[in-house]
Amino acid sequence: MEKVLLYQMDSLYRDSFKIYGYHFGGNEKTVCIVGAIRGNEIQQLYMCSNLIKTLKLLEERRCLDENLGIMIVPSVNPYSLNTSTRFWATDNTDINRMFPGYDLGETTQRIADGFFQKVKDYTYGIHFTSFYLEGNFTPHVRIMKTGYENVEVAKEFAMPYIMLRNPKPYDTTTLNYEWQVWGTQAFSIYTPGTDQVDVKQARYGIDAMIRFLAYHGLIHMKVNGGYRSRIVEENELVTVRTKTSGILVLKVKCGDHLSVGDEIAEIIDTYEGDVIEVIKSPCEGCLFYHGSNPLIYSNTAIAKIINDTDFI
């Protein structure tokens, strides 16, 4: 293992900003794994640290390929991790909306540029990232549909679902999107948990990454088979919204199979305790996502369901 300084930005008033990577195996730029870009992504930081620990053990046992290289970057934003802020502390900008970056731009643009120059030439790029909605969801691997995506390679993670997303304008400056544009086969791995470590859910992502590394010969070890991934288009998810606001009481969990009319949640009057809305499933399918905030507003997306109605 080699600890590598990938990027440094000097500061007048505090220690220099530094991004470190951990290199394993040979000199080929084969796989780059990136963890926390945002300051509250503790789960993603944990997953990277666990992978580094595993690869150190495999290295001691001489179970790493001598030519193919692995780079793991636990955090791209240690400042925000230290200050417990999701985005860049001074101006609230998101580094993962600044790629490929600009070396003469604002602070987060310069960080994105300096970091991207070090990771853009890898064959495969994997980002452990957090979901854009607050709540819980089913573990999955996500791909931006840029025209360069490779669904067959995504199956090698053997996660329950492969989610295909049509990029919106703000997606075009993310690490996943820019990786693909610059020739890297890029994938984002999502597991429930962001600012709290969920060891059981983190295991889904860690095991998926180990399966991928073993499949491509970067590590030599026996792994479990995982899942036969189901491919889902994000725009095919059925979104269920609330009609009222109040206290949310969930009746189901992610991964549950729902029939038409099954109860998903109740909304309780915040002062009087009466049930003011019963939220039911509009279709047959698997619950992919549900909100978790106990106080819910009206017209809020409370659930997303993988619709199986057409397959019955």
The model's pLDDT over 168-220, given as tens digits with 9 standing for 90+, comes to 999 999 999 999 999 999 999 999 888 889 999 999 999 999 999 999 999 99
| Superfamily for the 2-232 domain | Zn peptidases (3.40.630.10)
pLDDT exceeds cutoff 90 at 11: no
What does the mean pLDDT of the chain come to? Answer: 94
Which own/partner pairs from 249-253 qualify as long-range (CB within 8 Å, at least 24 positions apart)? 250/290, 250/292, 252/287, 252/290, 253/136, 253/287, 253/290
Closest by CA to 302, choosing from 243, 255, 258, is 243
Residue 227, Cβ neighbours under 10 Å: how many?
15
pLDDT exceeds cutoff 50 at 312: no
Strand extents, DSSP E, 103-227: 124-129, 136-137, 140-144, 161-165, 185-190
Segment 45-79, tens digit of pLDDT: 999 999 999 999 999 999 999 999 999 999 999 99
Predicted local confidence at residue 46, as pLDDT? 98
In degrees and rounded to multiples of 5, residue 61 shows phi and psi of: -90, 5
151-166: average pLDDT: 96
4-21: average pLDDT: 90
Predicted TM-score (pTM) of the model is 0.93
Amino acid at 47: M
Contacts of 95 (CB under 8 A, 6+ apart): 37, 38, 76, 77, 87, 88, 108, 111, 112
Regarding the domain delimited by 237-311, which CATH topology (the fold level of the hierarchy) does it fall under? OB fold (Dihydrolipoamide Acetyltransferase, E2P) (2.40.50)
Predicted local confidence at residue 141, as pLDDT? 97
- Domain map (residue ranges) of the chain: 2-232, 237-311
pLDDT exceeds cutoff 90 at 134: no
Segment 120-129, tens digit of pLDDT: 999 999 999 9
Of the chain, the percentage scoring pLDDT greater than 90 comes to 89
Predicted local confidence at residue 133, as pLDDT? 76
Please state, in angstroms and as integers, the Cα–Cα distance from residue 171 to each residue in 158, 161, 184, following that order.
Answer: 25, 21, 16
Segment 95-114, tens digit of pLDDT: 999 999 999 999 999 999 99
